[in-house]
């Protein structure tokens, strides 16, 4: 096992995200609950930090990109996305857990590929 020179943030949708999903046209997510939505969330690697507020500040800097990524993972039609993708809206729609220790349990090299640019 190896320490990785990153921190990690787990992006957890809140009720406004679920409400948005449920109002999408042709939605077939009748059984989707907030608990199920929050059970398998996106994890984002962050730069290492000394103070947890540094991790929060980094999330603030990339919040619009994260917001768009989360929306696109469910519906790529931007016309159906909320109009307000502000920092304030991001924090209303998502909880973020920040963890300072990342350990790689796999001996193989990590393969990087760019995330789509939104």
Instruction: Give pLDDT tens digits for 44-92.
Output: 999 999 888 999 999 999 999 999 999 999 999 999 999 999 999 999 9
Residue 116 DSSP symbol: P
DSSP H or E run through 112: none
Mean pLDDT of 22-44: 86
- Would you list the DSSP string of 41-78? -EEEEEE--SSHHHHHHHHHHHHHHHHHHHHHTT---G
Q: Alpha-carbon distance 54 to 68, whole Å?
A: 22
Query: Does 31 have pLDDT greater than 70?
Result: yes
pTM for the full predicted model: 0.87
Cα pseudo-dihedral 66, 39, 72, 15, rounded to 10:
-80
């Amino acid at each position: 096992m190896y320490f990785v020179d990153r921190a990690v943030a787990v992006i957890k949708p809140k009720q406004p995200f679920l409400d948005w999903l449920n109002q999408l046209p042709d939605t077939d997510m009748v059984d989707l609950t907030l608990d199920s939505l929050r059970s398998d969330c996106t994890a984002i690697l962050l730069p290492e930090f000394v103070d947890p507020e540094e991790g929060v500040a980094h999330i603030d800097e990339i919040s619009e990109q994260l917001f768009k990524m989360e929306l696109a993972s469910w519906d790529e039609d931007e016309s159906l996305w909320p109009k307000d993708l502000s920092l304030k809206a991001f924090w209303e729609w998502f909880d973020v857990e920040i963890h300072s220790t990342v350990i790689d349990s796999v001996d193989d090299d990590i393969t990087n590929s760019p995330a789509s640019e939104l």
